[in-house]
Amino acid sequence: MSLDAKVLEYEMAIGAGAFNPVASRVLEIKDSPASKHQAVRQQMLDSLKEENAQLLNTVTRLQERQQLQQHMFNPIGNSLDVNQGFDLQGESFIPMASYNRLKGDYERLSQEMAENTKRGKRLKEVHSLLQVELIV
């Protein structure tokens, strides 16, 4: 059997779902751009999930406090002014997960901006050098 026929046979087997990750290994570069991008996306997803859970917890606490205070101020069930406020002293509206995610986004974007600035400077330098070479 020729090498091309063997490759075709394996490609058809993999296409049919015969890939066994226990018996087969796929080699990849450890620090490839794709794996870096996937790691960043996974970290962002995890931080967003944590932030969402903390925000839902905050909303639930505020709703419970509002219901409790409405019941305390209005125990007989009379209509209560919708615009009446309730005491929120000492209540943290922004969970730490939100702050940490925003801080991480800021740092990531600052680093990305610095890389793009450096790339732009290098391109300008190369362009100016090539321009001088073409003129001379």
Per-residue pLDDT of the chain (136 residues; tens, 9 = 90+): 788 999 898 888 877 777 777 777 777 788 888 888 898 899 889 988 988 888 888 888 888 888 888 777 766 655 544 444 444 555 567 777 888 888 888 999 999 999 999 999 999 999 998 888 888 7
Contact 73, 26 (CB under 8 A): no
- CB count within 10 Å of CB 51 equals 19
This prediction has a pTM of 0.48
Question: For residue 15, what pLDDT is reported?
Answer: 78
Structure tokens at 131: 């321009």
* End-to-end alpha carbon distance in the chain: 61
Question: In the chain, what are the domain boundaries?
Answer: 32-78+86-135
Question: For residue 119, what pLDDT is reported?
Answer: 95
Please classify residue 104 by burial: count the beta carbons closer than 10 Å to its beta carbon, then call 0-12 exposed, 13-18 middle and 19+ buried.
Answer: middle
CA-CA distance, 102 to 10, in Å (whole number)?
47
**Cβ-proximal residues to 134 (8 Å cutoff; 6+ apart), any chain:** none
Question: For residue 68, what pLDDT is reported?
Answer: 84
Kindly report the length of the chain.
Answer: 136
